[in-house]
Each structure stands twice: as structure tokens, then as C-alpha cells.
Amino acid sequence: MNRILLVDDEKWVRSALKWTVEKTCLPFNVVHECANGLEALDWLRGNQADLVLTDIGMPVMDGITLVNELHRKSCSPDVVIISVYDDFPFVQKALRNGVRDYLLKPVQPEEMHQCLTKWLEERKPADGPIPVQADAATGSPIIQKVLHYIETTPPSLITLTEAAKSIPMNACYLSQLFKQEMNVNFVDYVTEIKITEAKRLLTATSLRISEVAERLGYADIAYFSNTFKKVTGVSPSEYRNKDKH
């Protein structure tokens, strides 16, 4: 298991982040929590973490100072910044100092999954692939069942938990098995399906963008728009307007 250190001055935020990490079903374990950068440095002097998830604005020692202090050490954990929009200039500075990635508050499970998966992929040459159970090679019929579930379920209702129930099997194991056999994460695969359907709805219907987002299971239109732009390179409104020309 990969060890995560959470650093945020608000306990409820740390609890929410820990829950979000657990929801990814990836091989990560939150081993400790700290309320500021100084506490994190003190803890790291006698303990180890593979990844630090840290807020920027904290008392005593902020996240940028923590990043700078860790950057001076030859053997320090990787860092992911947890930020709000107003912190973006500081995020850019942190990225220049070697921060691996950043997440915007409130962190959605899908965003955490993508961030942690990216981190795992970058470490693959040294650490090898995510381990799965020995009988994973015989799982093709299982994946076929999952694909059937995805194809026959409205995009807004597709979840890893429900996919696992349809087999039935453990959701975390299914997540690992799906990645091994499909060479893509379950969340990313479903996101592609949702964005493909979003393209169709944007061009073939007069639904408002908020209605398209709601139909695809996105409660937050801003998150939907950001996801759409990440996949297509343009915003939903730009995509719709471009299709009209």
C-alpha cells in the first residue's frame, strides 16, 4: 500500500479527503493527518509517506513553505496541492517547485481517482503494476458482464459500486481487474462514454448545458464543464457553437 499524509488545518476537510481516497479503491492508505506544514515536517522526520496531500492556506506553516522545505530534501515524498481558485498563482509557483499535481476544492472522487492513478502510472517503471489477485487472467467473462452493465445502464446511474453488485464481486478488486484487462480505469472509461453522450445531446437537442449535465449525472455544472473541456479541449458551449458553423 502507498502511504498518504494529509495536511490541512480543518479536521472536517481531512476527514472528507480521507473518505475520498478510500472511495477510489486504489492501493493507498492515509497513514497520518497534520494540521499545518510544521506538524507535517516534524512527523516526516521520524516517519515515511509516499505522497503528501496538502492545503495551501494554513496557520503556522502554509503549504507553499512546506513544499519548499520538502524540496530541499534529497529523499522527500511527492506532493499534491489541494487548492481553491483564489490560490492559483500560488499553485503555479508550487508546480515550478516540483509539485506533482493539484486538486481543486471540493475534491470530487473522480478527480482524486484520476490524480492517484496518474501518480501510480508515473511510478510504474520502478514499482511495477498494481497487484491483482492471481486468477485475474481468467476474468474476461467478468469484464464482459461489466461492459454489458455499462451499455444497458443510463450514464447518470453508472457507478463502480453498482457494477460490482451486478457481478457480484468486491468493488476494489473489480477496479483493479478492469484496469488490467481494459488498460483504462473504470472511471475514465465511463467518463468517455458520458462525454460522447454529452456531444450527442449538445448537437442533437436544444437542452441547456445544465440539463445535459444533470442527465449525465453531474450535479455540479462547473465540474461537468471542466471534465468536458479536459476530454475534448473545448467547453460544452464552444462545442455546441462550433457544430452550428
**Section 75-81 average pLDDT:** 84
Pick the range with the lowest mean pLDDT from 35-44, 159-168, 227-236. 159-168
Query: For the whole prediction, is pTM greater than 0.85?
Result: no
**Cα(27)–Cα(21) distance, rounded to whole angstroms?**
9
- 16 and 71 inside one domain: yes
Total tally of structural domains belonging to the chain: 3
User: In this predicted model, what pLDDT tens digit does every residue of 123-136 receive, in sequence order?
Assistant: 754 444 444 333 34
Find out whether 221 and 236 touch, Cβ atoms under 8 Å: no
* Total Cβ atoms within 10 A of residue 157: 8
Q: Do 168 and 199 fall into the same domain?
A: no
Q: Please tell me whether residues 37 and 108 are part of one structural domain.
A: yes
> In the structure grid, which three cell numbers stand for residue 16, read together?
472528507
Can you tell me the distance from the alpha carbon of 30 to that of 51, in angstroms, rounded to the nearest whole number?
9
Q: Do the Cβ atoms of 217 and 156 come closer than 8 Å?
A: yes
* Mean pLDDT to the nearest integer, 30-37: 95
Q: What mean pLDDT do residues 57-76 have?
A: 83
- Tell the residue number behind the cell numbers 493527518, with chain if given: 33
Please indicate, yes or no, whether residues 22 and 101 belong to a single structural domain of this protein.
yes
State which of 112, 127, 142 marks the end of a domain.
Answer: 127
User: Euclidean distance between the first and final Cα of the chain, in Å?
Assistant: 51
The residue range of the domain holding 43 is: 2-127
Residue 154 vs residues 157, 164, 187, 193, 199: alpha-carbon distances, Å? 6, 16, 15, 10, 15
Q: Is 41 found in the same domain as 20?
A: yes
* Nearest CA-CA partner of 224 in 213, 209, 235: 213
Residues in the chain: 245
Examine the pLDDT at 68 and tell me if it is beyond 70: yes
- Domain with residue 30: its CATH number is 3.40.50.2300
The verdict on 63 and 99 lying in the same domain is yes
Q: What is the CATH number of the domain that holds 201?
A: 1.10.10.60
Identify whether residues 112 and 158 lie together within a single domain. Answer: no
Q: Over the stretch 183-214, which tens digit does the pLDDT of each residue have?
A: 888 888 999 999 999 999 999 888 999 999 99
